[in-house]
Amino acid sequence: MPFLLFVVTSLLLLSGCSGKSPQTKEYATLTPYSPSPKQELSYKLRNKNPVTLTIYEQYKKWVNTPYKYGGTTCYGIDCSSLVQQVYKDGFGLNIPRDTKHQAKVGTFVKKPAIKEGDLLLFKTGYSSRHSGVYLEAGNFLHTSTKHGVTISNLNNPYWREKYWQARRILNY
């Protein structure tokens, strides 16, 4: 019986706190509408060509995945594995796992003729190579050691200096 009395008393005290507070003259500050990154991406994807859409879909699948040398999963992935997965899952194409062999597939494409879906290759060190997949407007999908899976731009001074070649793998 004392327990029941305790419960009833507690409920009465708590219900006293739930009443309406007196009206004040303060008004909520309205903040301007700002779309979420996913909404922004969805807006940008309208009317895109199918290749670009497929690459963006792959980006959405892998975004937030950190860089891991030799990694092949959502717990960590390196650049050549990401590129391999984009072509396999997005386009049903099997390409080599490492950048050395990726640089030999498809056909060479001059930089001004790069199209959506082309494989991009960079020389980032004496014997180091990096790969990504071209999106549009200078943007490409890749994984960086600092940001993980991300989209960067070829006009960025770093990438412009490290650019090596493009390969056309998709026949469209």
**Can you list the positions of beta strands (E) in 9-138?**
72-73, 76-77, 107-109, 119-123, 129-136
Residue of 17, 74, 130, 147 with catalytic role? 130
Determine whether 17 is an active site residue: no
Residue 166 contacts residue 111 (beta carbons within 8 Å): yes
Q: How many CB atoms lie within 10 A of CB 172?
A: 10
Quote the tokens at residue 163: 């650019």
Determine whether 142 is an active site residue: yes
Q: Are strands 129-136 and 119-123 parallel, antiparallel or unpaired?
A: antiparallel
Amino acid making up residue 110: K
Determine whether 130 is an active site residue: yes
Residue 154 contacts residue 138 (beta carbons within 8 Å): yes
Residue of 17, 74, 101, 142 with catalytic role? 142
Nearest Cα neighbor of 54 from 88, 79, 78 is 88
What are residue 120's DSSP bridge partners?
A: 132, 166
Quote the tokens at residue 167: 């390969």
Which residues are catalytically annotated?
79, 130, 142
